Structure 1
């Protein structure tokens, strides 16, 4: 009986608050904001940032119809043991077609609620067709579960130019911004498959290293699963405003190595260092592959990294269009495929003139 009376009392309080707050909210012709609710519930007409009760927050959520990300998340995606993920798995084990239809070009947004954020995935690419199919399918599945409005851009560097991840990331950022507005930019290696759908594909106030556990390195040391503490390679996320503060990636690294270390230095120089995802959630399976013949090791990465902090504001996102251009853009069924060309000599001359 006592529990029943308490429930009745709680219900009366909720109804009373709803009756008091709602009329003031609906005095607005447009959908009320968080500020509107705080104004409606303040005592002197000034908004108070901390006076929003849980009931008022519930009303705001109902009115704004925000998507509820947690309702669709399941955690582990493939039910693999620690032993499984340290072996080379058949590709069909990691493939997935469990996602809703998307628009031409791979664009998607939830139909029945307001998406939590607008995210774009940028994937640097060359000659990895099997890997690309797997990562694209898995990304659609996880991004839809997280109730995001999103797009996926695959950026390819035309031959014979030596592979350059930084150039592709910068061009992808500019092209994605030209096509739509995004809140969050995720830069994603083509061979890293997320193992947990709780990995947040939206941006925090700081740049984030999402791939905190990488099976490529876990085979060497499962406790660390990363090559060194400052490593931010694999998958990272940044807000657009932060990417601009870093001046994007460096364009200087042709071939393998140096690009990820450079952007980590840029982030520290800009005083927005990377945070790392929880290792129990930010888990990725690295698809095994041979290094591309056109992606030889960059022998100058050591000297380039030494000068990174000095030159980061003068070379990167703000200079990439002087040395690179878009060759083609194709709206495929599941992603946008962009091909770009780049003149390595112009990039090197830019560095000499800094």
Structure 2
């Protein structure tokens, strides 16, 4: 078995799941996440590979571009992945019934977070979301235009709707997560003024197939594959 991957030996899993994690400067969170998510996925008897998509310093964090790059690079490394879960490093699932698998619809795995008393998120598409490859391509992935915190998940929800697709959420009592504590992220000062349905962030003109990134290094660890990428700034 390739480093970074795991599969049960006594059965044939329905899915080979890629866990795509957008990441920068969260080593403590990564350690906690891996200690929790690996046994969680093993108990679900999934074949899985974890891809840590780490952005270099110098440019504001771009979650959407990292997820797009993770989709493209993971498929280049492993050709037979048939389910993708795009997952933040600071979220820990609480219920083993929350199956990390895919369906014919986009699946939002998060219904609430403990620190917010599990408040339900009606149209939320952030945190942890699963796609089969074709659905991700149908919406042209995430927008690459949102630097700093916020915006790309709202835009993704509109992409799903615009493409005529449906989003399903796991039951509220199952989709509960613990969020690891951290200082507030550096937000995008322009996000409130950016239009998540603006002409420059629609899937026809911006997304997976226009993602600009450079792979700086790929390293295979025992529990994940680390891909360090450079994302150009918004004016590049």
| TM-score, length of structure 1 as denominator length | 0.63
Counterpart CA distance in 1 for 2:107 and 2:193 is: 24
Counterpart CA distance in 1 for 2:181 and 2:173 is: 22
Aligned to 1:107: 5
Aligned to 1:217: 116
Residue 301 of structure 1: CA displacement? 4.8
Residue 198 of structure 1: CA displacement? 1.1
Residue 109 of structure 1: CA displacement? 1.2
1:296 pairs with 187, 212, 223, which one? 187
Residue 104 of structure 1: CA displacement? 5.5
1:193 pairs with 75, 82, 92, which one? 92
**1 or 2, which has the higher helix percentage?**
1
SS of residue in 1 equivalent to 2:86: strand
Counterpart CA distance in 2 for 1:298 and 1:245 is: 30
Counterpart CA distance in 1 for 2:173 and 2:199 is: 32
Unaligned stretches of 5+ in structure 2? Answer: none
Q: Is the 8 A contact 1:249 1:259 kept in 2?
A: yes
Counterpart CA distance in 1 for 2:231 and 2:126 is: 23
Aligned to 1:331: 220
Change (3 A) 1:309 1:274: farther
How many residue pairs match? The answer is 235
Q: Is the 8 A contact 2:141 2:207 kept in 1?
A: yes
Residue 256 of structure 1: CA displacement? 1.0
Residue 112 of structure 1: CA displacement? 1.8
Give the 4+ runs in structure 1 shifted more than 3 A.
Answer: none
Residue 300 of structure 1: CA displacement? 3.7
Larger C-alpha radius of gyration, 1 or 2?
A: 1
SS of residue in 1 equivalent to 2:171: coil
Unaligned stretches of 5+ in structure 1? Answer: 1-102, 350-354
Residue 290 of structure 1: CA displacement? 0.2
Q: Is the 8 A contact 1:194 1:285 kept in 2?
A: yes
Change (3 A) 1:298 1:104: farther
Note the alpha carbon deviations across 1:301-350, whole angstroms, 9 max, x for none.
54331316972122110011xx21111111111111111001114xx56x
Aligned to 2:152: 259
Aligned to 2:54: 156
**1 or 2, which has the higher strand percentage?**
2
Which protein, 1 or 2, shows the higher relative CO under an 8 Å CA cutoff with sep ≥ 6? 2
Counterpart CA distance in 1 for 2:17 and 2:144 is: 24
User: Is 1:274 aligned to residue 182 of structure 2?
Assistant: no
